[in-house]
Chains A and B, each alone.
Chain A
Amino acid sequence: QQQVKQSPQSLIVQKGGISIINCAYENTAFDYFPWYQQFPGKGPALLIAIRPDVSEKKEGRFTISFNKSAKQFSLHIMDSQPGDSATYFCAASSGNTGKLIFGQGTTLQVKP
């Protein structure tokens, strides 16, 4: 029940295309859903996050769509760029515990 399932495991997108990564969760107590971006040799960096009181959040080229009833959320990267090539992790936490449960990760490659 604590799992967060992420797909796909890897993704190849052409420059300018849309990258879509999906996550699903079981624990209805989760109330915070961040996405992290990780480059090789670096720690994860927060990209964007959403709480269940909204269905969508957009920051620049990055959008989170959230479906509370389906217990799913997704990351959309518009106009994908080669510099977006990285590993993306969704995560979830509940309350103010700060304890993050991470998805399995998606390796994104954006081809020039």
Chain B
Amino acid sequence: DQQVKQNSPSLSVQEGRISILNCDYTNSMFDYFLWYKKYPAEGPTFLISISSIKDKNEDGRFTVFLNKSAKHLSLHIVPSQPGDSAVYFCAASIQGGNTPLVFGKGTRLSVIA
């Protein structure tokens, strides 16, 4: 049973517009969430994280929103750039222990110039 779900396998967005990537989770114990970005032939690269004590975290063009009641988080990229084209993975864990990260299957984002 998947605890972290990314229901959209792919997303296409025009350059300059907003990209919104979604992630749902089922385990209410998760309290730390991360987004990773992966280019072909490279390993995932950490992008941004959020703890459950917050509902928003922003870093430049990237903002992550957390809705605990809906068990949903999203990554907003604005403005989207062609270099943002990659696979984005959502991951979740439980702080305070050694619980490993649980990853979603990823969403492939294509930013069209």
A, B bound: no
- Chain B: residues with CB nearer than 8 A to chain A? none
- Chain A: residues with CB nearer than 8 A to chain B? none
